[in-house]
């Protein structure tokens, strides 16, 4: 009963088979392997973007930070929601890789920026001449950090605001596939067709061993990203193992099937949580991540039986009134089965 993160689950068999197959013989290093051209073409086809540049790294933090560093100057502000992934979970990596760009935090309900709030934040930035940070890119997290999803119209509304100021936009897609499955849309519809300039196309949280693709729809950004990836120590020597993972991931719709499985299990869990006495959902989940408020007694029963998931804050104590609710997060990965979900719900219900 491991619901701590989709990172905790196994890699999909198709991914493991691809890595083992890639281990045969010799391949040129640093992305010059024979697999990578096919990966580039498949991702271009997937995104309906024949000129897109495709760059593989092993971690989501590297993908996001390098993408933002390519789009932002050190003296810029990078606009994002107050609980965006780049703000909450990257340990200052965007600031580090941009060489000091300032994160400008924007408010909005359900983990989502509003166009009005973004417009106000942009207006309030860059109005001090040389004395203040300048206006830089906007980054959107989808699935959001509380499990909700920006609709296509909501993404377009934000990119319209950014474009009105001549600013670039980035989509943080650590759970990109889960968002596509939730919105029943194509990768193109959620990115460049909605005004996005670059995307971190995540694989690690969705059945890969460790691979993410940075995709820029304007190839003019490609060379700078290549240089930043090398300078930032994220250009793999044995790149073929990244290529092999991504190649299997984007073949025959595997990326989407894995996400759909995780989303289905999360939907079952969310509905079940509504039947736990004293429990409530923080927001209606769109993908595979759920935030809820559940009584301490239910947490104690579940964790005593071996369930693993995060309480918030992390130092929340299981000592105290049994009926007091504690905020928590559950994440379902591609391999989660319905029986495990029902077992957890039985423990929470008591």
Residue 51 burial by Cβ neighbours in a 10 Å radius (0-12, 13-18, 19+): exposed
Residue from 180, 248, 183, 191 nearest 214 by CA? 191
Q: How confident is the model at residue 148 (pLDDT cuts 50, 70, 90)?
A: very high
User: Measured between alpha carbons, how far is 56 from 242 in angstroms, rounded to an integer?
Assistant: 7
Rounded to an integer, what distance in angstroms lies between the CA atom of residue 276 and that of residue 29?
53
* Predicted confidence (pLDDT) per residue in 10-39, tens digit: 999 999 999 999 999 999 999 999 999 999
- Residues 5-25: b if buried by 16+ CB within 10 A, e if exposed: bbeebebbebbbebbeebeee
Q: How many helices (H) and strands (E) does the chain have?
A: 14, 11
Indicate the class that CATH gives domain 13-254. Answer: alpha beta
C-alpha span between 240 and 129 (Å, rounded): 47
Residue 206 phi/psi, 5-degree rounding, is -130, 45
Is residue 199 within 8 A of residue 173, CB to CB? The reply is yes
* C-alpha distances out from residue 83 to 63, 104, 109, 113, 223, Å: 18, 11, 11, 10, 31
Mean pLDDT along residues 278-304: 96
At 161-191, the pLDDT tens digits run 999 999 999 999 999 999 999 999 999 999 9
Worst-scoring range by mean pLDDT, 95-99, 305-309, 315-319, 336-340? 315-319
* Least confident window among 123-127, 269-273, 275-279, 323-327: 123-127
Burial (0-12, 13-18, 19+ Cβ within 10 Å), 179: buried
* pLDDT band at 203; cut points 50, 70, 90: very high
3-state secondary structure labels for all residues of 106-142? ECCHHHCCCHHHHHHHHHCCCCCHHHCCEEEEEEEEC
Per the CB < 8 A criterion, the answer to whether 247 and 15 are in contact is: no
Name the residue ranges covered by the structural domains of the chain: 13-254, 259-349
Band of pLDDT at residue 126, cut at 50, 70 and 90: confident
Residue 50's pLDDT is what? Answer: 98
pLDDT at 128: 86
Residue 316 has pLDDT above 90, yes or no: no
Q: Which CATH architecture has domain 259-349?
A: Alpha-Beta Complex (3.90)
Q: How would residue 271 be classed by pLDDT, with cut points 50, 70 and 90?
A: very high
pLDDT in tens, 209-259: 999 999 999 999 999 999 999 999 999 999 999 999 999 999 999 999 999
Measured torsion, CA atoms of residues 15, 21, 22, 27, in degrees rounded to the nearest 10: -170
* Tokens describing residue 211: 């691979």
Give the pLDDT score at 314: 83
pTM summary value: 0.94
Instruction: Kindly state the DSSP code that residue 101 receives in the 8-state scheme.
Output: P
Q: Where residue 313 falls among pLDDT bands split at 50, 70, 90?
A: confident
**Separation between Cα atoms, residue 244 and residue 195, nearest integer Å:** 30
- pLDDT at residue 342 in the model: 98
pLDDT at residue 333, rounded to an integer: 97
């Amino acid at each position: 009963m491991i619901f701590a993160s989709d990172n905790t689950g196994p890699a999909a068999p198709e991914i493991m088979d691809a890595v083992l197959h890639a281990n045969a013989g010799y391949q040129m290093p640093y992305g010059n392997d024979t697999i990578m051209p096919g990966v580039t073409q498949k991702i271009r086809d997937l995104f309906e973007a024949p000129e897109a540049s495709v760059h593989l790294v092993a971690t989501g933090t590297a993908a996001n930070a390098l993408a933002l560093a390519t789009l932002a100057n050190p003296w810029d502000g990078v606009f994002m929601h107050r609980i965006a992934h780049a703000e909450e979970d990257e340990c200052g990596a965007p600031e580090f890789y941009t060489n000091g760009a300032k994160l400008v935090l924007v408010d909005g309900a359900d983990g989502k920026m509003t166009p009005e709030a973004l417009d106000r934040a942009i207006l309030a930035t860059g109005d001090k001449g040389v004395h203040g940070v300048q206006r830089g890119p906007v980054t959107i997290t989808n699935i959001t950090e509380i499990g909700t999803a920006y609709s296509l119209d909501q993404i377009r509304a934000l990119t319209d605001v950014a474009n009105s100021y001549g600013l670039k936009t980035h989509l943080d897609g650590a759970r990109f596939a889960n968002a596509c499955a939730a919105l029943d849309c194509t990768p193109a519809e959620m990115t460049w067709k909605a005004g996005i300039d670059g995307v971190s196309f995540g694989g690690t949280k969705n059945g890969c061993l460790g691979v993410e693709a940075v995709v820029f729809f304007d190839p003019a950004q490609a060379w700078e990203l290549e240089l930043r990836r090398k300078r930032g120590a994220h250009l793999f020597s044995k790149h073929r193992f990244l290529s092999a993972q991504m190649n299997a991931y984007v073949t025959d719709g595997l990326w989407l099937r894995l996400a759909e499985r995780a989303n289905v299990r999360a939907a079952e869990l969310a509905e079940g949580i509504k039947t736990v006495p004293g429990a409530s959902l923080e927001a209606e989940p769109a993908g595979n991540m759920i935030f809820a408020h559940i009584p301490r007694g239910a947490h104690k029963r579940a964790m005593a039986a071996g369930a693993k998931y995060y309480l918030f804050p992390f130092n929340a104590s299981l000592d105290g009134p049994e009926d007091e609710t504690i905020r928590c997060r559950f994440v379902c990965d591609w391999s989660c089965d319905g029986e495990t979900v029902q077992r957890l719900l039985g423990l929470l219900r008591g």
